[in-house]
Structure 1
Amino acid sequence: MSMHAYLLFVAASVVLVLVPGPDMAYMLTRAVAQGRRAGSMAALGINVGAYVHLAAAIAGISALLLASATAFAILKWAGAAYLCYLGVRALMSRGALTDLTGSEVRGRSLRAIFWQGFWSDVLNPKVAIFYVALLPQFIDPQAGNPTLQLVLLGVTGNMIAIGINLVLVAGAARLTGKLRRNGRIALWLQRAMGVLFIALGARLAAQKA
Structure 2
Amino acid sequence: MWIHLVAFLGLSLAVICTPGPDTALTVRNAFSGGRRSGVWTAGGVAAGQAVWTLAAGLGIAGLIQASEPLFLVMKVAGAAYLCYLGVQSLWAAWRGHAAQAADQSELRLTPVRSLRQGLVNDLANPKMAAFFMSLLPQFAPAGEGAFVTMLGLGLLFSLLTFAWLTVYSLLIDKMRALFDRSRVRRTLDAVTGGILIAFGLRLALSDR
Question: When the two structures are superposed, what TM-score results if normalisation uses the length of structure 1?
Answer: 0.85
Q: In 2, Cα distance between the equivalents of 1:189 and 1:85? A: 17
Gaps spanning 5+ residues in structure 2: where?
Answer: 102-106
Q: Counterparts in 2 of 1:47-196, with a 5 A limit? A: 47-93=46-92, 94-96=95-97, 109-141=110-142, 144-174=144-174, 176-196=175-195
Q: In 2, Cα distance between the equivalents of 1:128 and 1:74? A: 14
How many corresponding residue pairs? 201
Q: In 1, Cα distance between the equivalents of 2:130 and 2:37? A: 27
CA-CA distance at 1:151 after TM superposition:
1.1
Q: In 1, Cα distance between the equivalents of 2:158 and 2:141? A: 20
Q: In 1, Cα distance between the equivalents of 2:84 and 2:31? A: 20
Q: Is the 8 A contact 1:82 1:201 kept in 2?
A: yes
More helix by share: 2
Runs of 4+ in 1 over 6 A off after TM superposition: 97-100
Q: In 2, Cα distance between the equivalents of 1:108 and 1:33? A: 8
Q: In 2, Cα distance between the equivalents of 1:173 and 1:84? A: 25
Q: In 2, Cα distance between the equivalents of 1:177 and 1:113? A: 18
User: Judging changes above 3 Å, is the alpha-carbon distance between structure 1 residues 141 and 97 closer, same or farther for their aligned structure 2 residues?
Assistant: farther
CA-CA distance at 1:87 after TM superposition:
1.9
Question: When the two structures are superposed, what TM-score results if normalisation uses the length of structure 2?
Answer: 0.86
- Measured on the aligned residues, the alpha-carbon RMSD in Å equals 2.4
User: Judging changes above 3 Å, is the alpha-carbon distance between structure 1 residues 87 and 74 closer, same or farther for their aligned structure 2 residues?
Assistant: same
